[in-house]
Amino acid sequence: MKPYAEMTKEELKKEVKELRAAYHHQQTLDQHYDMSRGKPSQAQLDLSMGMMDVLHSGVDLFCEDGTDCRNYGVLSGIREAKVLLGDMMENNPDNIIIYGNSSLNVMYDTVARAFTHGIMGNTPWCKLSRVKFLCPVPGYDRHFAITEYFGIEMIPIPMSPGGPDMDMVEKFVSEDEAVKGIWCVPKYANPTGYSYSDETVRRFARLKPAAHDFRIFWDNAYGVHHLYDDKQDYLIEILAACKRAGNPDMVYKFASTSKITFPGSGIAALATSPNNMEDILDQLKHQTISHDKVNQLRHVRFFGDIHGLVEHMKKHADIIRPKFEAVTETLQEELGELGIGTWTSPIGGYFLSFDSIPGCAKAIVDRALKAGLVMTPAGATWPYGKDPLDSNIRIAPTYPPLEDLRKAMKLFSLCVKLVSAEKLLAGME
């Protein structure tokens, strides 16, 4: 079939009529598919069921240093968990704080502490007339929700396959003292699946912030979430790069096991400089005596070490790799020749990014919903939910069973075709 943009008015009218009939048929099927969030499937969750057996009433809950995980204490987390997540994050265990079940919660708390008490003696953000954050787009909606909740002004920064537009980042950071941070998902980014290039990481490390309390919020959520053994993205480690560049305190690096073991029951971590750690722990001691050390020990006993975790992630990859391939194969088959959409083809992470022709994304997601397919709202990948081109849609393929996913992507492609054809036809009237 020829590209829609090359069709005559009569050809488009015929195409719209056929697509509407196909869409109405889909609506009669009483189908229900959920691609709204990046959730692990049941098969992925089953991989971690052995965690429920490693601790029971007949085993001791003591760490190697004698710490009793049943009791209070050890604010920064048990040593074994620091070693495990340190290996996962490529950081020194001494520079890591182990938290509770959610890295998103850690990011929220980090912003909240900066807002109420400031960072390393600097003025609390709540006492400033303006606070700004840079937001690579398309990006992670829950990052944007945190900064919006605190009334922080968000500035979109365009993304490319190598990372954010660093010319813009450098200009804003160096010239505006109100710019206090930037959200980053540097590896297999949400939603594009892009990974930052070596040059991008080095430029981040060499930033010259106007604000002494500027911080890079480096959310390495998908650091070990590869889809292939022989094709994997690698990042320059940001804390080491910043230290070499003379900016040792500029980064908060976040990670968790939420999409490794059980979402909501994993362990989260923050890696940062010794100065930042001292500052954070001085504030954290007023919030809690310790996080869940039993769960920390459970993870350590289940994986053993980083090698056990890596092997575990290969099992995840075997489950989700066919789903990513099904998405790209279906999009290519259904839309590849029509010129009405582009999409990413990640080799890791949890998402793909789809761009329709401008002005169509919301209508596509709405059409999909009315036919039984729930997707992330269009616009969610931009600050304030406002995609200026109304074109970006996040595709989350992990949760549905494979056969359901294939059907869902056929339905999605149908909605893309219908909305696009109607849009182009309306432009001819």
Answer whether residue 51 is part of any domain.
no
Q: Is residue 50 part of a domain?
A: no
Q: Looking at the structure, tell me whether residues 145 and 120 fall in a common domain.
A: yes
The answer as to whether 256 is a domain residue is: yes
Query: What's the pLDDT score for residue 428?
Result: 87
Q: Are residues 290 and 186 in the same domain?
A: yes
Residue 165 lies inside a defined structural domain of this protein: yes
Q: Please say which residue of 238, 271, 304 terminates a domain.
A: 304
User: Is residue 254 located within the same domain as residue 397?
Assistant: no
Q: Which two tokens stand for residue 219?
A: 């959310």
- Number of domains observed in the structure of the chain: 2
User: What is the pLDDT, as a whole number, of residue 333?
Assistant: 98
Is the same domain home to 220 and 115?
yes
Residue type, 246: G
* Residue range of the domain that includes 140: 61-304
Sheet holding 153-160, edge to edge: 96-98, 268-271, 251-256, 215-219, 179-184, 132-137, 153-160, 163-164
> Is there a single domain that holds both residue 219 and residue 280?
yes
Encode pLDDT of 140-154 as tens digits: 999 999 999 999 999
Residues 327 and 225 in one domain: no
Same domain, 376 and 273: no
pLDDT value at residue 429: 75
Successive 10-residue mean pLDDT values, the chain, 429 residues: 95 98 97 97 98 96 97 98 98 97 97 98 98 98 98 98 98 98 98 98 98 98 97 98 98 98 96 98 96 98 98 98 98 97 98 98 98 97 98 98 98 98 93
177 and 230 fall within a common domain: yes
Q: In the prediction, which pLDDT does 176 show?
A: 98
**Do residues 187 and 240 share a domain?**
yes
Between CA 381 and CA 144 the distance in angstroms is 9
Question: Which one of 304, 328, 362 terminates a domain?
Answer: 304
Asked whether residue 241 falls in the same domain as residue 146, the answer is: yes
End residue of a domain, out of 304, 332, 357? 304
Residues 104 and 201 in one domain: yes
C-alpha 21/C-alpha 35 separation (Å) is: 24
Query: Is residue 122 domain-shared with residue 143, that is, in the same domain?
Result: yes
Q: Which is it for the CA torsion 370, 328, 402, 319, positive or negative?
A: negative
- Asked if residue 324 belongs to a domain, the reply is yes
Is 375 within a domain?
Answer: yes
CATH number at residue 393: 3.90.1150.10
Eight-class DSSP state of 297: H
| E strands present in 258-327 | 268-271
In a domain, 56, yes or no: no
**At 146, which CATH number?**
3.40.640.10
| Torsion sign across C-alpha atoms 168, 171, 175, 181 | positive
Return phi, psi of residue 13, to 5°. -60, -45
Find out whether 396 and 36 touch, Cβ atoms under 8 Å.
Answer: yes
Structure-token pair, residue 404:
């359901």
